Structure 1
């Protein structure tokens, strides 16, 4: 897809990967709608883009809700035109372990999975009619491997990868591109929050991410994602080692599970 002249929506754009994705798409020539729950973060992202000569507007709201998705799409239409690229980036870690509160599971499912489903439901009919559009799912290496310590995060990231695959299979012959971004450790507030958590299980989850490989900057993830959209590629692996890990997992599942248990033991 030629990114210059397109309209891109980015959720979770107030910080971290979402901010860098917004900046990178704007630098590539897209008009950006930056969405987040944090008003200050949205304002700072928009200001950074416009100061560099790009075009951006912000939306403060919950991208996990049907109304929140509609607000992003409507704001894009009012400011720039129909959405060409939708980046489902907003994500949360969720409770450590299995969690004690069912509502916490509902929240992590809404943010990490249902937000993607709701955005796709709103956009796909129009994209199919136009014969173009690109959906970006920012998942995680946890969606190909797994996440120690946080069941909700691991489950929803696996589901996000599966949903992105389904979108590509179902709509790929209709001119719709899909990219699925699966990094390991990225220097973001989310990783910092769990590494510094008072909960020992959450800290173990953070240590697992931080020690599994290099912790990279969110700008690298953003640059690779923009390249993938431009080239029409599905899988984006900012940490190339993830592919080797994924292959070893599929080659011998029992050995991989035993190895993950040993790894967890070294972190506890």
Structure 2
């Protein structure tokens, strides 16, 4: 669906693959000029090339969202390159499913990327949007930001925190033209799930985790992100939108 974002500027973190790539491509397909950001320069550059090949406009900016100076430079790039910032999808995140999240270093990294990174992005993005008196921010949380998970303390804690930051921003800027929402995906076919999904038996397990009997696709999450940024969602703020094939309905 084309949301008529002609002339608008969108920033997407974690856009080198998966949900972030699908979101960046979706913004561009609707006419927005896109700042594609990721720590993976190869993946980010590929996303830009895909957008340009389809006739869209995009540039890449390498950014570790856990570093304040890099986030500041990222948002400044949007302003210098395209003149402003209308939409932001704060999607960069890590999932330490194969590690011990109680390990000090793993915990610190999860907190830095998944939670501090979202805060730093919101802080810089909102500054530009508030000056313009308008804007929409969407943060990627997870169904693990709403329900528990006995295996991943860092992931669960940070994703719950993202929902909290989302509600905070929505209330703080509700009367200043800036809306803040979150998407909470269930199991999605991305680089995070790929190592497990490569095993046929594990793939069956992943598919069985939702009542619909399959994993979600990145484009299905991205479509919700675009809608939340569009004028069609003009009265929606502070919402954590679950997109999980029914997993949390049980």
Give the alignment's TM-score, normalised by structure 1.
0.81
Q: Return the structure number with greater helix share.
A: 1
Which residue does the alignment assign to 2:223? 223
How much does 1:99 deviate?
3.0
Distance 1:166 1:33 in 2: 25
Which residue does the alignment assign to 1:44? 46
Which residue does the alignment assign to 1:238? 243
How much does 1:69 deviate?
0.8
Q: How large is the Cα RMSD of the aligned pairs?
A: 2.4
Equivalent residues in 2 for 1:162-173, closer than 5 Å: 162-173=164-175
Partner-residue secondary structure (3-state), 2:175: helix
Equivalent residues in 2 for 1:1-80, closer than 5 Å: 3-80=5-82
Q: Deviations over 1:122-174 (max 9, x none)?
A: 23233223211111101111111123411111111111111101111221121
1:109–1:152 Cα contact (<8 Å) kept: yes
Equivalent residues in 2 for 1:1-268, closer than 5 Å: 3-94=5-96, 99-193=101-195, 210-213=207-210, 214-230=214-230, 231-232=232-233, 233=236, 234-239=239-244, 241-242=246-247, 244-245=249-250
Farther off after superposition, 5-14 or 74-83: 74-83
Distance 1:99 1:38 in 2: 23
Give the alignment's TM-score, normalised by structure 2.
0.87
Structure number with bigger Rg: 1
1:35–1:42 Cα contact (<8 Å) kept: yes
Partner-residue secondary structure (3-state), 1:216: coil
How much does 1:59 deviate?
0.9
How much does 1:88 deviate?
0.7
